[in-house]
Amino acid sequence: MDLIDDPRSPNFSAIFEIPGLRNSDISVQIQEGHLIVCGERRPPYLQTILSQPSPPDSEAVSKDASEHMEVDSPASQAVRVPVQELRFGTFQRNIPIPKGIKEKDVSASLADGMLTVTWPRLSPAAVSSSLSPPARTIGSASPPTSAVTAGTALQ
């Protein structure tokens, strides 16, 4: 994952490398001040074999196929994976985001195996309150300061 912080942009972006997944394989949520991206990537060769019809008297998949990646086909030939470098299974990433960000404030797009998730630096409520002039106290010698400044929202 890359987290993109361009000070010229009002948004943060996170880019995830997730080849072979469809939109239906991925979930993007906001929970308790965190962006949560989770999903599952399944081995395509196992899905293909499991979808083939098996003879009524034979077992299509060995009991421990997921552990050894050895699957019996209807022709009683084992599919082997002598080199396994690809990662499969469930995944989850939690990224802290500014308070007040809602799911409606987040956009996500999936293209060519790259998931890009974008959210505002500040919640829309914080942006609108920072645009209104600050209240000044009579007799205050120091200039008013903003409670949250750009660039510190994720710290």
Domains and their CATH numbers in the chain: 1-41+90-125 (2.60.40.790), 43-53+63-87 (no CATH)
The residue among 29, 31, 65, 24 whose CA lies nearest residue 48 is 65
* Number of C-beta neighbours around residue 89 at 10 A: 10
As a whole-number percent, the residues of the chain with pLDDT over 70 amount to 59
Query: In this structure, which amino acid lies at residue 62?
Result: S
Record the tokens describing residue 72, joined without a space. Answer: 């019996």
Best-predicted range by mean pLDDT among 20-34, 37-51, 68-82, 133-147?
20-34
The residue among 92, 53, 103 whose CA lies nearest residue 73 is 53
CA distance 132 to 129: 5
pLDDT digits (tens, 9 = 90+) for 11-39: 999 999 999 899 999 999 999 999 999 99
Record the tokens describing residue 77, joined without a space. Answer: 């030939």
> Is the pLDDT at 119 greater than 60, yes or no?
yes
Q: What is the mean pLDDT of residues 146-153?
A: 36
> Is the pLDDT at 112 greater than 90, yes or no?
yes
